[in-house]
Amino acid sequence: QGLARMLRSHGVTRVSLGVQSFRPHLLDVLERVVQPDTVRRSFYHLRDAGFDNISFDLIYGIPGQTVAALEADLADALELGPEHLSCYELEAKPGTRFTHAHGDELERQSDAMESYFELVVERLRGAGYRWYETANFCRASELDLRSRHNLAYWLGRDYAGLGVGAVSTVAGRRWRNTPRLAGYMEALERETAPERAVEPLSDDVRRRERVMLGLRLDEPLVLGELATVLDERAVSRLELLGLVRSDSDRQTLALTPRGRFLGGGVTADLLA
């Protein structure tokens, strides 16, 4: 409670809580220490401190998860009523301990991802949330409750990332801080900049990223110079299939609701 008040008094206006699930047995699978009651207490402390913009992160496709468990997670989240929800499918990296431990169940879950995704969208839109980005939802409000930092990714703006492994993109250059905690802390103790990998971004890469990320949003993408990286035949074909839509003079492009469910597969097909 003291932390919530301190953050609010120092000008913090938005907090995101990594809920992942409200089912204790699924949190155990994810090896998460925080339990559902801790999340609820944190939420109420934030409200008491004056926060009116709180976001939850939820994960679906967890080994052992069922449709009923996902529905229960969504119901628990909606009961609390955060302003924003980010709902991501579980991504298990090949070769990790987690993948070795849950390989068969992860394969089963992968077959259910599409139905999970559709359930998430249906429930949250039905509760009045705007599906403004592939995995992100915000309540309808006079205020813009979308994630401002993440919008910088999707709209091709500059952004700064702070901390171990954080990524920043500024003025056509991208850099990633070292993912090694020990090395990062040692640099701070020496009062020097932590090691980072720098990646110059060509105009072609920036345009392709702008298309791939911009089409994740629910607003049409203004093309302009971005048209140079599009495959016009693919655009026409996907329009006929009802997966994308553009205006009469091809100044904008957007995924249809059906295309949004297919997401990255449609976008990758659009690029020349």
Burial of 214-245, coded b for 16+ CB within 10 Å and e otherwise, reads bbbbeebbebeebeebbeeebbeebeeeebbe
Contact 178, 184 (CB under 8 A): yes
Place of tokens 């699978």: 29
- Average pLDDT, stretch 34-41? 94
107: number of Cβ within 10 Å: 10
Q: Tell me: domain 2-145, CATH 3.30.750.200, correct? A: yes
Contact 116, 62 (CB under 8 A): no
Calculate Rg over the CA atoms of the chain. 20
Burial of 123-139, coded b for 16+ CB within 10 Å and e otherwise, reads bbeeeebbbbbbbbbbb
Q: Which amino acid, 185? A: M
Q: What is the pLDDT of residues 46-85, one digit of tens each?
A: 999 999 999 999 999 999 999 999 999 999 999 999 999 9
> Measured between alpha carbons, how far is 88 from 168 in angstroms, rounded to an integer?
22
| The pLDDT of residue 143 | 87
CATH of span 203-270: 1.10.10.920
- Domain edges within the chain: 2-145, 150-200, 203-270
| The pLDDT of residue 1 | 79
Q: What is the pLDDT of residues 230-265, one digit of tens each?
A: 999 999 999 999 999 998 888 999 999 999 999 888
Which residues, 6+ apart, have CB-to-CB distance to 175 below 8 Å? 167, 168, 196, 197, 198, 199
Q: What is the pLDDT of residues 126-136, one digit of tens each?
A: 999 999 999 99
Whether the per-residue pLDDT at 272 is higher than 80: the answer is: no
Q: Report the percent of the chain where pLDDT is more than 70.
A: 100
**pTM reported for the whole predicted model:** 0.90
**Which SS3 state, helix, strand or coil, does residue 8 take?**
helix
| The pLDDT of residue 249 | 84
